[in-house]
């Protein structure tokens, strides 16, 4: 069954810089419209924007992700996940690369969920903590 407008994956845009937000929104829109290869490429673009925002430099995304380890505080599992997202985006963009069996709905949904968690940790943790602390009684 097809619905219009297409149902999109929900996310919180609080604190996301414009480049990161734009790439993520495009990834979600592509996914909602069944353009899974395009969505995977835009997830990769979201990572590029994250690295740019955090001044993680390098000759390619792989080296920028390695540099990002020094500029953000994330659990190792999320940092490792950045490289998995990069590889999925590579598979979507290049005919000869095949790290993943498929780049389809399920793979992209997982990639978007992981991307959302990474962005929450990088950009939204402090905001949530501030909101919680603002609820404390003033003594």
Query: 18-133 has which CATH code?
Result: 1.20.120
What is the Cα–Cα distance from 96 to 83, expressed in whole angstroms?
18
pLDDT tens per residue, the chain (139 residues)?
Answer: 566 677 778 788 889 999 999 999 999 999 999 999 999 999 999 999 999 999 999 999 999 999 999 889 889 999 999 999 999 998 888 766 666 667 888 999 999 999 999 999 999 887 888 889 999 887 6
- The label of the residue with tokens 């480049």 reads 19
Count of helix runs (H) and strand runs (E) in the chain: 6, 0
Written as six digits, the tokens of 66 are 């390695």
Q: In angstroms, rounded to a whole number, what is the distance separating the alpha carbons of residues 68 and 98?
A: 25
The encoded tokens of residue 21 equal 């937000």
Listed by start position, the domains of the chain span 18-133
What does the DSSP 8-state code read for residue 3?
A: -
């Amino acid at each position: 069954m097809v619905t219009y407008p297409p149902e999109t994956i929900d996310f919180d845009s609080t604190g996301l810089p414009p480049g990161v937000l734009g790439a993520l929104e495009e990834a979600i829109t592509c996914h909602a419209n069944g353009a899974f290869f395009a969505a995977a490429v835009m997830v990769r673009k979201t990572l590029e924007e994250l690295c740019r925002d955090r001044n993680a430099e390098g000759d390619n995304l792989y080296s920028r992700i390695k540099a990002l380890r020094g500029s953000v505080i994330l659990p190792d599992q999320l940092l490792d996940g950045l490289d998995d997202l990069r590889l999925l985006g590579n598979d979507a963009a290049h005919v000869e690369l095949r790290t993943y069996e498929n780049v389809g709905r399920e793979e992209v949904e997982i990639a978007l969920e992981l991307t959302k968690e990474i962005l929450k940790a990088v950009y939204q943790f402090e905001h949530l903590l501030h909101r919680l602390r603002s609820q404390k009684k003033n003594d």
